Amino acid sequence: MKVQDLLDELQEKECYKNFKLENPSAFFSAGFFILDLKEKSETIQLDFFLPEQNRVCPNQSKSQIYEGKIAAFEHPFKEPKIFDEKIKQMQPQTTDIKIDIDDLETTCKTIIKENNSLIVPTKIIAILKDNLWNLTCMDDALGIVQVKLDAVTREQIEFKKGSLMDMMGIKKK
| Pairwise CA distance, residues 159 & 147, whole Å | 5
Task: For residue 28, report the phi and psi dihedrals to the nearest 5 degrees.
Answer: -65, 125
Beta strands in 89-164 (DSSP E): 123-129, 132-138, 143-150, 156-163
- Quick one: pLDDT band at residue 61, thresholds 50, 70, 90? very low
| Pairwise CA distance, residues 90 & 96, whole Å | 18
pLDDT at 162: 84
Beta-carbon neighbour count of residue 106 at 10 Å? 10
Tell me the pLDDT of the chain averaged across its residues. 91
Say if CB 104 and CB 124 are below 8 A apart.
Answer: yes
pLDDT in tens, 65-123: 579 999 999 999 999 999 999 999 999 999 999 999 999 999 999 999 999 999 999 99
| Pairwise CA distance, residues 162 & 23, whole Å | 42
Task: For residue 111, report the phi and psi dihedrals to the nearest 5 degrees.
Answer: -65, -40
